[in-house]
Structure 1
Amino acid sequence: MILAAALLLGAVVIGWWSPRALSRLTAAGISPGTAIAWWLMTAMGVLAGTLAGVLLLVLPGHGPAEAITEALHDCWAAVSHDGLPALDPIVGTVASVVLLAAAGRLAMASAGRRRRSNLLHQRHLDALRLVGVRDPRPIPTLWLPDDQPIAYSLGGRRALIVASRGLAGRLSEQELAAVLAHERAHVHGCHHLLTGCAEVVGRTLRFIPLMRTLPAAVQLLVELAADRTAASQWGPEPVRSALVSIRSADGPRRALAMAGGDTAIRLQHLAEHRNGERFSARLTAVVGGATALLAPALFAVGLLAAASLISCA
């Protein structure tokens, strides 16, 4: 029971306190792609730590928990598994009910969002094919006869980019190319899928601060990542000037528009844009991602080690 309780406590601590740390790391200048990975892997780690803790409670003999905590048994006999046997079925039952309820709600929310997204996507495609002019490319671009500067992308297997004639008329050739590169980056980076998953998890598990903050964080970071890709191809200045020109325009729900996200933050990141990524940055990204994923488990191990040292002393 000790290991299960430590894992659950680790998931609670990381779920409640990680958003502040992740926000500070994001503001410290790491690449948007790295920040997205850290946010999502932290959320996965919290979910995995919770699931592992519940499984250790309900499995016969607590699975491998006894073998792991056996070394601490002599030092911490007063609070070991054998000291509180009656709590196991109660805590395990309650935790299982909560976990099953959360999993059911998550599955229903995911299925509902996918159904609505597919329906809106199909209707949008039908309407655009009626009023738009199709540009045959690997990622089709549909041009709307609209004077407003519109630019957004729709993900999925039939991904496409939507732009307006007003956009082409307002922007220079380089700016227009940068906008289209930004939208293609959304499609190639599977940003629609990432934002969709973050939205479903955030709505389902809103009582956890990390999950509640996740959708807005991922939404901003995918825009920063797309800006970074476009700036690498066309330079930061065309992206910046295009963003300022069309900042008031937006796309439909579940689309990723060029005008999305916090404009001030995006302009600041464009001003600090640097091409390329050093090996040290990649190593930091990998190590940070692994730490984020294993954070609840690392917290549990540290807690058990500290408790054993104190009790042995």
Structure 2
Amino acid sequence: MIPAAALFLGAVVTGWWSPRALSRLAAAGTAPGTVIAWWLLAAAGVVAGVLGSVLLLVLPGHGPAGAVLRVLHDCWATAGHDGFPALDPIAAAGSAAVLGAAVVGLARNGLLRRRHRTVVHRRHLTALRLTGDRRPLPTLWLPDDQPIAYSMGGRRPLVVASTGLADRLTGAELRAVLEHERAHVRGHHHLLTGVAEVLGRTLRFVPLMRELPSAMRLLVELAADRTAAARCGTEPLRSALRRVRTTGGPRGALSMAGADTAIRLDHLDATAEPRFTAGVKAVVGGVAAVLAPPAVAVALVVGAGLIACPAS
């Protein structure tokens, strides 16, 4: 039970502490794509840590659990360790019940989101067919005076813009806006934000999961801004961000004005890191994010062992 409890505590510590660290790294100018990977890997590490702790409880003889218990048995006997194994079935049943409820919640929220997105997407595709645009990534122009720009993912992605947007922007600004929306589609940002929203809605009691949707929405906007600036120039995109303030689009779409404009403008001024430095940082940070729960668990077990079993 001790390794399972340590792994569970490692997941808890990571779930509660990591959002602050990840937010600081994003504010420090790290590439948005790298920070997106770190957030998702940290979330995956927490989920894997909880699953691993449940497996160790359900199957106490599996993996290193039995060996660890045998090694530490004598050291912790005075602390009542002899009674711990009797608690395994109770803890395992409770953990499995909580895990099952979480899985059901994830499936339910995922299906509800997919159903809503499918209905809205079909309406857009119906309107698009009337235009005869058969390009792989078409643009649906809406006769609306408001400056609207958003994109929709899925198997038939599309960009949606309004005539009001074209009337208010210059040619260079409009190209930057459309390239921004195409970057969302090419980067599979709709899928990433969808996964984040389902996790956040289902596991809101974990700070990492609760903050994941808002962090992901901002980060995908920063990533799309970086791509658009590289293709169309920073100044047209900056000017367009200042002029397009309305947030249009249905739920599940990614809008041009869908995040904090001030933060996005600040990131446009940031200097890109050298490719090698950015690559090393991405790999090291990703490994640290996904291995944080077991690393904390090992530290807890080793620390407790050193306290309970002083070197002889």
Asked if these proteins are the same fold (TM beyond 0.5), I'd say yes
Partner amino acid for 2:42? T
- Within 5 Å, give how 1:1-313 maps onto structure 2: 1-59=1-59, 61-78=61-78, 82-130=82-130, 133=131, 135-274=133-272, 277-313=274-310
CA distance in 1, matches of 2:183, 2:195: 18
> Partners of 1:92 and 1:182 in 2: how far apart?
48
Work out the CA distance in 2 between the residues paired with 1:60 and 1:118: 44
Distance in 2, matches of 1:27 and 1:200, equals 25
Aligned residues of 1:134 and 1:140 also touching (Cα < 8 A)? no
Structure 2 unmatched runs, 5+: none
Q: 1:70 Cα shift? A: 4.1
Gap runs ≥5 in structure 1? none
Separation (CA, whole Å) in 2 of partners of 1:80 and 1:11: 25
* Alignment partners' CA distance in 1, 2:78 and 2:171: 74
State the shift of 1:205 in Å: 0.8
State the Cα distance separating 1:47 from its structure 2 match.
0.6
Deviations 1:2-55 (A, max 9, x none): 110000111111111211111111111111111111111111111110000001
- The structural deviation recorded for 1:277 is 4.3
Q: What SS does structure 2 have at the residue aligned with 1:267?
A: helix
Secondary structure at the aligned position of 1:181 is classed as helix
In the alignment, the residues of structure 2 paired with residue 129 and residue 245 of structure 1 have an alpha-carbon distance, to the nearest angstrom, of: 30
- SS of the counterpart of 2:61? helix
Count of residue correspondences? 310
Note if contact 2:10-2:297 (Cα within 8 Å) is conserved in structure 1. Answer: yes
Question: CA offsets, 1:63-119, max 9 Å, x none?
Answer: 431134544445444458644221111111111111111111111111121111111
Q: Are the counterparts in 1 of residues 234 and 268 from structure 2 also a CA contact under 8 Å?
A: yes
AA aligned opposite 1:220: L
Q: Percent identity?
A: 65
How far apart in 1 are the matches of 2:255 and 2:219? 13
Which structure 1 residue ranges, 4+ long, deviate > 6 Å from structure 2?
none
Which AA in structure 2 matches 1:303?
A: L
| CA shift for structure 1 position 124 | 2.5
Tell me if structure 2 keeps the 8 A contact 1:159–1:187: yes
For the 8 Å contact 1:150–1:163, the answer to whether it is kept is yes
Deviations 1:267-312 (A, max 9, x none): 11112253x7421111111111111111111100111111122223
CA distance in structure 2 between the aligned counterparts of 1:278 and 1:124, rounded to whole angstroms: 39
- AA aligned to 1:267 is L
What is the SS of the residue equivalent to 2:156? Answer: coil
Give the root-mean-square deviation of aligned CA atoms.
Answer: 1.8
Are the counterparts in 2 of residues 152 and 183 from structure 1 also a CA contact under 8 Å?
A: yes
User: In structure 2, how many angstroms separate the alpha carbons of the residues matched to 1:70 and 1:230?
Assistant: 58
